[in-house]
Amino acid sequence: MVTGRLVLILGDQLSASLSSLKAADPKRDVIIMGEVASEATYVGHHKKKLAFVFSAMRHFAEELRAAGWRVEYAPLDRPKPFASLTDLVADAAKRLKSKKLVVTEPGEWRVLDEIETWSDRLNLDVTMLDDDRFLCSHADFEEWAGDKKSLRMEYFYREMRRRTGLLMDGDEPAGGAWNYDQENRKPPPAKLVSAGPLGVEPDDITRDVLKLVNKRFPDNFGDLEPFWFAVTRQDAEAARDRFIADSLPRFGDYQDAMLRGEAFLYHSILGLYINIGLLDPIDVCRRAEAAYQSGAAPLNSVEGFIRQIIGWREYVRGIYWREGRDYTSRNYFKAERALPEFFWTGQTKMACVAAVIQQTREEAYAHHIQRLMVTGVFALIAGLDPHAVHEWYLAVYADAYEWVEAPNVIGMSQFADGGALASKPYAASGAYINRMSNYCSGCAYSVKKRTEPDACPFNSLYWD
């Protein structure tokens, strides 16, 4: 029998509202999904990230089947796993005798370039649709960017507030100001008690995936277990609701704070679910806004949270596609040092770096200020090769896909793009870390010293 069209769904496209699904017909078209070697190895992904992506993909395939779709799913532990997305699609087209493929645009240049070979190589009629899970399309971003000399997130963000109507009183921002960033920089007290993210017990599907990851990727970075991420839409929604009820109220005050042994504080740990498609970014923002409107969360928290999603998240995506294929090889400062071994082992006397890397190894997670002001600042002032730094970040975080990771690393953190994204490099001495954390009190180095042998390396490198 000749089938209708093939609908390829990639590992970070796990949304029921995906444009390719909306365009397809469950009676005729066939969905193809696959765990393929090229995607699993383009960097040495953290073990928890691999398990998260594969288990969420398998659960989404089940969700689609339950909704009446025919889904052809190729797991990595089938007898002959597919080497690439191209092989997966070629096999499906041949077996199912289909000549047409629909796909929602992928999140990175590498995959886009691969898909663009299929009409010639595989003799397929390929339709690529916009990813309308993002609020700002490529065309909208280009229109906003126009011929502006410099693009700054703050103005983009105001535009997005107006466009979505989030936290708006008519034409004016709720509370009278667009941005409450100044109220989001409280240093932490000695102890902060937070509920932390919702943890979910692995089910049978996840347990199979954990076995697969253990067997196929034993030497990858990171602890696979305990594995507690949500892998279904329902559980991701429960994690969202828990964040809004328990942590959002204090998110703003302690957004920049860092405490030894506290990986999550009041952060949402929702980025991984939003990026993979289990949560809808605008829906999460509307629920946060409702918490402000009902008096359950203050404006500095809700504005700060919404700014990250409709502001930063959309803005960095716009920059990624605008800047082009060579973005990840930019190196404005011509920095060439290799990544030190302790980025993988966590074995360094710098207590702040050791804490962030240990937490990254355990959880595939660090919050924004840990990524930016600890490992990021260290890499910048130590002159590490930005491409190696980019590959590290892309590998080690469960929420990392190139469209969002690269602008944050190459642009915001390493200034390797020479200022396409940020107005200045985020360089800082140890004083910043000392103000915003309790790391320095347990460190072999002295944060007060600049030149002595036991001087904090952040100080010596910064003043150098």
Positions that interact with ligand SF4 (CB under 6 A): 350-352, 430, 433-434, 439-440, 443, 445, 447, 456-458
Please, which of residues 369-428 interact with ligand DLZ by CB under 6 A?
401
Beta carbons of 298 and 249 less than 8 angstroms apart: yes
Minimum CB separation of residue 222 from ligand DLZ in Å reads 13
Q: How many CB atoms lie within 10 A of CB 234?
A: 11
Rg of the chain over CA atoms, in angstroms?
22
184 is a contact residue toward ligand FAD (CB under 6 A): no
Quote the least distance from Cβ 215 to ligand FAD, whole Å.
26
Q: Which is closer to ligand FAD, CB of 195 or CB of 444?
A: 195
Nearer to ligand DLZ, 45 or 161 (CB): 45
Q: Quick one: 442 exposed, middle or buried, by C-beta within 10 A (0-12, 13-18, 19+)? A: exposed
Cα–Cα distance measured from residue 73 to residue 67, given in angstroms and rounded to the nearest whole number:
15
Which long-range contacts (C-beta less than 8 Å, at least 24 apart) are formed by 52-56? 52/229, 52/231, 52/272, 52/276, 52/364, 52/398, 53/11, 53/12, 53/276, 54/11, 54/209, 54/212, 54/213, 55/202, 55/205, 55/206, 55/209, 55/231, 56/11, 56/14, 56/231, 56/232, 56/276, 56/278
Rounded distance between C-alpha atoms, residue 60 and residue 58, angstroms:
5
Residue 430 contacts residue 423 (beta carbons within 8 Å): no
Which residue from 21, 50, 61, 224 is in contact with ligand DLZ, where contact means CB under 6 A? 50
Compute the least distance from the CB of residue 45 to ligand DLZ, in Å.
Answer: 5
**Residue 135 interacts with which of ligand FAD, ligand SF4, ligand DLZ, none, CB < 5 to 8 Å by class:** none
CB of 273 to ligand FAD, least distance (A): 8
Contact flags string 260-299 toward ligand FAD, x per CB under 6 A = -------xxxxx--xx------------------------
Quick check: 53 binds ligand DLZ (CB under 6 A)?
yes
Q: Which does 356 bind (CB under 5 to 8 A by kind): ligand SF4, ligand DLZ, ligand FAD, none?
A: none
Nearer to ligand FAD, 51 or 396 (CB): 396
- In the shown chain, the binding pattern of residues 346 to 385 toward ligand FAD, with x for contact by CB under 6 A and - for none, equals ---------------------xx--xx---x---------
Asked if 60 interacts with ligand DLZ (CB under 6 A), we say no
Complex with ligand SF4: residue 88 or 443, whichever CB lies closer: 443
CB atoms within 10 A of CB 170: 5
Coil/strand/helix, residue 302: helix
DSSP annotation of 168 reads E
Binding site residues, ligand DLZ, CB under 6 A: 10-12, 34-36, 39-40, 45, 50, 53, 106-108, 111, 401
